[in-house]
Amino acid sequence: MKKALIAVMLCITLLLTACQSKASEPTKQSTVVFYFDTVVTITVYSDDEEILVGLDEECLRYENMLSKTVEGSDVWNINHANGERVAVNEETRNLILTAMEFSRRSEGHFDITIEPCMALWDFTSEDRGTLPDASELAAAAEKVDWTKVDVNEEGVLIPKGMSIDLGAIAKGYISDRIADYFIEKGVESALLNVGGNVRTVGLKPDGKNWRIGIQDPEGVRDQSIVGVVDLHGNSVVTSGIYERGFTLGDVVYHHILDPNTGWSVQNELAGVSIVAEEACTADALSTTVFTMGLEEGTAFIENFDGVDAIFVTRDGDISWTSGLDDLFSPSR
């Protein structure tokens, strides 16, 4: 009889503890801050009440280091050094080296020295809609050459007249640093979005994958998606013609520029999403692969370890690389 009693008590204990464990899921905390000309949303599951303290300042520190428009930032200093070498923060130096590695691997499809061309375009202001002067743009494109960026222990040197812009990689890099901070603090579940750069930490608190909708480049007005991708501890970044730009006649002029000509890339693609472990990689490669086009881009990513891509053409066709076969669910 005692055995029966013990069994009943064990069952009751189990029932009660089962409820307990659900109640002890870490607390959801979230914040929204505005930096890098965009919005940063952070959702973190943690019982550490201090976990979000200081993130605001950290974002500000990165903005003051990596923004090309903030006077006195590392990038601003490099761009205003008239051909002199500039001492920079170690993080800036390493990020520039990372960017150059993407340039090398993509044979120049990714290039941080595109800035002189970018400076001639206006994709964002109220008055946007005019094209840059063709000869000025051609002259600016002559200055684009990532191989001239000289990085050593003392700092960074670029030839006079050249300038750099880390905009195609910095947001991803910063997402990774925030994710690292959370992982260091023992966080097992978090979701960051830095201006469209989505970075996850671990799984959702319920132990399932994060499900992230991929923007339909043609459906920007109604926020429709081309499908949903499952993520666990990694990142997805989308580049597309819908983000910033304008239409003249039937040509969409958008912010992804061809490093050879300085003109908006015109190929069959409307959008590319990259899934990679690090948002920095996904950020840089989304621009890179967009510039390459569908065929070359697909081959490039299939040969890139740990990275996958989803392509949406201007005709609305959706394709993806083999690593996503089980993780991407197209919605049409």
Partner 1 sequence: MKKRDVIIISVFLAVAIIGLIAVKLFAPVGNISYADIYVDSSLYKSVPLNNDAVITIDQGDGKINYVEVKDGSIFMADSSCADHLCVTQGKMNPQNYESRPMRNWIICLPNLVTVELRIE
Q: Which residues bind partner 1 (CB under 8 A)?
A: 1-2, 4-5, 8-9, 12, 15-16, 19, 25, 28, 30-34, 38-39, 41, 56, 126, 191, 193, 205, 211-215, 220-223, 225, 228, 331
Q: Is 15 exposed, middle or buried (0-12, 13-18, 19+ CB in 10 A)?
A: exposed
Minimum distance from CB of 215 to partner 1 (Å)?
4
Neighbours of 203 (CB within 10 A): 16
Taking the complex as a whole, the smallest distance from the CB of residue 45 to partner 1 amounts, in Å, to 8
By C-beta, is 216 or 258 nearer to partner 1? Answer: 216
Q: How many CA atoms lie within 13 A of 3 on its CB side?
A: 0
Residue 243 CB, nearest approach to partner 1 (Å): 11
Of the pair 158, 226, the CB lying nearest partner 1 is at: 226
Q: Which is nearer to partner 1, 108 or 181 (CB)?
A: 181
Task: Supply the minimum distance, in Å, between the C-beta of residue 47 and partner 1.
Answer: 13
Let me know how long the chain is: 332
The four Cα atoms 216, 217, 220, 222 give a dihedral, to 10 degrees, of -30
> Can you tell me the distance from the alpha carbon of 108 to that of 145, in angstroms, rounded to the nearest whole number?
8
Q: Residue 35 or 300: which CB sits closer to partner 1?
A: 35
Strand partners, 13: none
d(CA 68, CA 76): 5
Taking the least distance from each CB to partner 1, the nearer of 25 and 136 is: 25
Nearer to partner 1, 303 or 331 (CB): 331
Closest distance of CB 85 from partner 1, Å: 37
Q: Residue 126 corresponds to which tokens in the numbers above?
A: 């109220």
Alpha-helical regions (H) of the chain: 2-23, 55-66, 74-79, 90-105, 115-118, 134-142, 170-184, 279-292, 294-302
Q: From residue 7, how far is each of 17, 20, 195, 263 by CA, in Å?
A: 15, 20, 55, 75
Q: How far is the CB of 118 from partner 1 (least distance, A)?
A: 20
